Amino acid sequence: MRKFRGKRIDNGKWAYGAFYPIKDEDVYFIINNCKSIDFDDGDTTFNGYKVHKKSVGEFTGLHDKNGKEIYEGDIIKGETRNFTVKFEEGMFTTDVGKYILNGDYEIIGNIFENAGLVKL
C-alpha cells in the first residue's frame, strides 16, 4: 500500500495512511484505522481524517540521515541551499532535479508549514 500524509482540518496535526479524494470538494480523507470520523461514499463507509487537499504528499520510501520518513513537500537541507521534494515524471526528485538518496539529507520542514525555508 502506498502511504500518504495530510494536514488535518480539525486540529492541524498530520495524519498518515491511504488517501481518498472527495469528488468536487477541496478536501481529502486520510484513512488509517483511526477512530475520528466516518464518511460514506455511497457504497462503503470508511474511518478517516479530513485533511487539506494541498497538504497531501506521498511517502518517497526514503529516510533522511536521522531516520525520518521523507514525503513529497518536505524541505531538505543541501550543502548550499534547501530543496523541496517533488514527484515528477514517475520519480521523486527535488525542485532543481537533484535525485534524493537515502540518508544523504536532513528534513528541516515542509512547504505547508515552513515555505520560507526555500529560496525562490
Q: Tell me, what's the pLDDT at 91?
A: 83
The contacts of residue 118 (CB under 8 Å, 6+ apart) are 75, 82, 83, 84, 95, 111
Predicted confidence (pLDDT) per residue in 18-62, tens digit: 887 776 666 677 666 544 445 555 555 566 788 888 899 999 999
Closest listed residue to residue 102, CA positions, set 60, 64, 58: 64
Distance CA(54)–CA(42), nearest Å, equals: 25
Q: What is the pTM of this model?
A: 0.81
Whether residue 79 has pLDDT greater than 50:
yes
- CB count within 10 Å of CB 32 equals 17
Q: Tell me, what's the pLDDT at 36?
A: 44
